Structure 1
Amino acid sequence: MSSATAVEESTVLVVDDEKPLADLVGTYLEQDGFSVLVSDNGQDAVYQAREQNPAVVILDLGLPGIDGVEVCRQIRTFSDCYVVMLTARVDEVDRLIGLAVGADDYVVKPFSPRELVARVRAMLRRPRRLSISYPSVIDVGELRVDFTGREVQLSEAPVQLTPTEFDVLAVLASDPNRAFSRRELINEVWGQDWIGDEHLVDVHIGHLRRKLQDDPADPRFIRTVRAVGYKMGTG
Structure 2
Amino acid sequence: MKEKILLIEDEVKISRFVELELKYEGYEVEVAFDGRKGLEMAKETDASLVILDIMLPKMNGIEVLRRLREVSDIPVILLTARDQTMDKVMGLDMGAEDYMTKPFEIEELLARIRVILKRKVKLGANKHDTLNVGKLSLDELTFEAKYDGELIQLTKKEFDLLKCLIQNRNLVLNRDQILEKVWGYSYYGDTNVVDVYIRYLRSKIDDKYKVKLIHTVRGVGYTIKDE
Deviation at 1:63, TM superposition (A): 0.7
Deviation at 1:57, TM superposition (A): 1.6
Deviation at 1:112, TM superposition (A): 3.5
Deviation at 1:198, TM superposition (A): 6.5
Deviation at 1:118, TM superposition (A): 3.1
- Equivalent of 2:18, from 14, 20, 25? 25
Distance in 2 between the 1:114 and 1:226 partners?
46
Correspondence list, 1:199-210, <5 A: 202=193, 206=197, 209=200
What is the SS of the residue equivalent to 1:46?
helix
- Equivalent of 1:48, from 41, 48, 73? 41
Q: Is the 2:54–2:79 contact (alpha carbons within 8 Å) kept by the matching residues of 1?
A: yes
- Give the aligned partner of residue 158 of structure 1: 151
- Give the aligned partner of residue 3 of structure 1: none
Q: Is the 2:70–2:155 contact (alpha carbons within 8 Å) kept by the matching residues of 1?
A: no
Deviation at 1:213, TM superposition (A): 1.3
Residues 27-61 of structure 1: per-residue CA shift (max 9 Å, x gap)? 44334432211111112212322343322221111
Amino acid at match of 1:14: L
What is the alpha-carbon root mean square deviation over aligned residues? 4.4
Deviation at 1:69, TM superposition (A): 2.2
Structure with the largest fraction of helix: 2
Distance in 1 between the 2:92 and 2:203 partners?
14
Amino acid at match of 1:56: L
Distance in 1 between the 2:202 and 2:48 partners?
22
Task: Structure 2: state its 5+ residue gaps.
Answer: none
Distance in 1 between the 2:68 and 2:140 partners?
25
Deviation at 1:68, TM superposition (A): 1.2
Distance in 2 between the 1:222 and 1:116 partners?
39
What is the SS of the residue equivalent to 1:63?
coil
Correspondence list, 1:100-179, <5 A: 102-110=94-102, 111-126=104-119, 129=122, 137-146=130-139, 151-159=144-152, 166-179=159-172
- Give the aligned partner of residue 232 of structure 1: 224
TM-score by length of 1: 0.66
Task: Structure 1: state its 5+ residue gaps.
Answer: 1-7
Q: Is the 2:5–2:50 contact (alpha carbons within 8 Å) kept by the matching residues of 1?
A: yes
- Equivalent of 2:4, from 7, 11, 33? 11
TM-score by length of 2: 0.68
What is the SS of the residue equivalent to 2:47?
coil
Residues 147-176 of structure 1: per-residue CA shift (max 9 Å, x gap)? 577643233123466777655543332221
- Give the aligned partner of residue 89 of structure 2: 97
Larger Rg: 2
Residues 163-200 of structure 1: per-residue CA shift (max 9 Å, x gap)? 77655543332221233456655766687xx5452659
Q: Is the 2:6–2:49 contact (alpha carbons within 8 Å) kept by the matching residues of 1?
A: yes
Amino acid at match of 1:154: Y
Q: Is the 1:145–1:153 contact (alpha carbons within 8 Å) kept by the matching residues of 2?
A: yes
Question: Number of residue pairs matched?
Answer: 222
Distance in 1 between the 2:18 and 2:85 partners?
21
Distance in 2 between the 1:207 and 1:97 partners?
18
What is the SS of the residue equivalent to 1:45?
helix
Deviation at 1:81, TM superposition (A): 1.7
Q: Is the 1:136–1:146 contact (alpha carbons within 8 Å) kept by the matching residues of 2?
A: yes
- Tell me which moved more, 22-31 or 156-165: 156-165
Distance in 2 between the 1:231 and 1:112 partners?
41
Amino acid at match of 1:144: S
Correspondence list, 1:63-82, <5 A: 63-82=56-75
* 1:62 paired to 2:55: yes
